[in-house]
Structure 1
């Protein structure tokens, strides 16, 4: 059975992402800590994983095939590079929100039985993990913004 609370958490995350439109542009590309990503890179990272769910994980669940993950380091580096490519703050946020809204819509349209399909992973396991992943990164950004509040 679909974990609708996790899907709601994925959906509700977009409201928080929208608040980042008001983020001081000087903080947007500033690393949240030494050796860490910036808010822009974290947002790009989350959007990149949403795209992977849409392009790879959901089709595998529909077809009953194995769920595959890309090389995490390379995939995450790709997101970081994209965030630093010159894309504007508003464009990256809008893209992230659109991608997340599409993901949530597709998850809600999926038949219940697809969530419990025992592949190498099940959507019942993965969707809450991705919601927890959102929470982890949101908490990092919130702590950074509080520490840098003017």
Structure 2
């Protein structure tokens, strides 16, 4: 397996386990903001869900076709809606939705060939590889997971 693909898949598989373990935090911890004036743990995890869905349905199927990529959603609106959902849902429901979405994403990535991981892509005005694209998403996850770890200590 391509080492870049393997690194991204390992991250996503570990992220599933990591988020599943959040079921053990108290309701108070789950609803605690990661910093003053910031989202709660619930909202942070909740906002990752629609982005995974977007990547699975609006990015991966179009990356190696002649079709134009579907337009990206409005980031602020999508994040605000996802954070709102995270506030309303139970911890278990949010975790389950995250896990299901992340598993779909992982399955979709498994189907990409090693050759596709080496090809250049055009996303927006950027030219990059699959690894670079998913590495950015991985870094985003890790940033949020670190914030959550700090607030849960």
Shorter-normalised TM range: 0.7 to 0.9
Task: Give distance in 2, aligned partners of 1:81 and 1:129.
Answer: 24
Conserved in 1, the CA contact under 8 Å of 2:47 and 2:79?
yes
Quick one: higher RCO (CA 8 Å, sep 6+), 1 or 2? 1
Partner of 1:40: 42
Partner of 1:74: 77
Structure 2 gap segments, 5+ residues each? none
Conserved in 1, the CA contact under 8 Å of 2:52 and 2:105?
yes
- Give 1 or 2: higher strand fraction: 2
1:63-82 CA-partner distances (Å, limit 9, x unpaired): 24444422211111111111
Is 1:134 aligned to 2:141, yes or no? Answer: yes
Q: 2:151 aligns with which of 130, 144, 147?
A: 144
Q: Which moved more, 1:27-36 or 1:135-144?
A: 27-36
Task: Give distance in 2, aligned partners of 1:64 and 1:26.
Answer: 48
Q: 2:54 aligns with which of 48, 52, 55?
A: 52
Task: Quote the offset at 1:119 in angstroms.
Answer: 2.1
Which consecutive segments of 4 or more residues in structure 1 shift more than 4 A?
A: none
TM-score (norm 1): 0.88
Conserved in 2, the CA contact under 8 Å of 1:65 and 1:119?
no
Structure 1 gap segments, 5+ residues each? none
Aligned length: 145
CA-atom RMSD, angstroms?
1.7
Task: Give distance in 1, aligned partners of 2:78 and 2:150.
Answer: 25
1:43-88 CA-partner distances (Å, limit 9, x unpaired): 0111121111011111221424444422211111111111122x11
Conserved in 2, the CA contact under 8 Å of 1:28 and 1:39?
yes
Task: Give distance in 2, aligned partners of 1:11 and 1:64.
Answer: 30
Task: Quote the offset at 1:29 in angstroms.
Answer: 1.7
Is 1:110 aligned to 2:117, yes or no? Answer: no
